[in-house]
Homo-oligomer: A and B are copies of this chain.
Amino acid sequence: MKESGGRKQGAASPCAACKLLRRRCAHDCVFAPYFPADEPHKFANVHKVFGASNVNKMLQELPVHQRGDAVSSMVYEANARVRDPVYGCVGAISSLQQQIDTLQTQLALAQAEVVHLKQFEWKKGRWWQ
């Protein structure tokens, strides 16, 4: 996440957010550090899903050092919602939870097999280690 570089030093080039919103990009623009002019899609999806006004408000409510992470997570969520308008990134959460269920079942089986193999050896009096 680039914390700066939203605008060229000394140039009047607006950040991607101000360009899309067709407004003047002030020197203290809250979007400029996170939405550089050369990544227009990054803001477009965030604007479509959350709305520029909500994003502005959410960023203003956070300390500056947390805004980069907040933008990254909002961009991730917005892209997921544009790709999948029904489930958004909640679809990814369901899929990961299913993977966890499958892995937990496989792990329980493998661990049970280890216990079984060790018990078999122990019963035969041929315990090693």
Residues of A whose CB lies within 8 Å of any CB of B are: 48-51, 53-54, 58, 61-62, 66, 69-70, 72-74, 76-77, 81, 85-93, 96-97, 99-100, 103-104, 106-107, 110-111, 113-114, 117-118, 120-121, 128
Interface of A, secondary structure class, is helix
Copies of this protein in the assembly total: 2
Q: In the assembly, what is the distance between CA of A121 and CA of B77, in Å?
A: 51
Min CB gap A42→B, angstroms: 15
Return chain B residues, CB-CB under 8 Å to A51: 50-51, 53-54
Return chain B residues, CB-CB under 8 Å to A58: 49, 81, 85
Taking a contact as CB atoms under 8 Å apart, the answer to whether A62 and B85 are in contact is yes
Return chain B residues, CB-CB under 8 Å to A110: 107, 110-111, 113-114
A72 and chain B: residue at smallest CB distance: B90
Min CB gap A33→B, angstroms: 16
Min CB gap A111→B, angstroms: 5
Given A50-B54, A100-B100: A70 and B85 interface contact (C-beta under 8 Å): yes
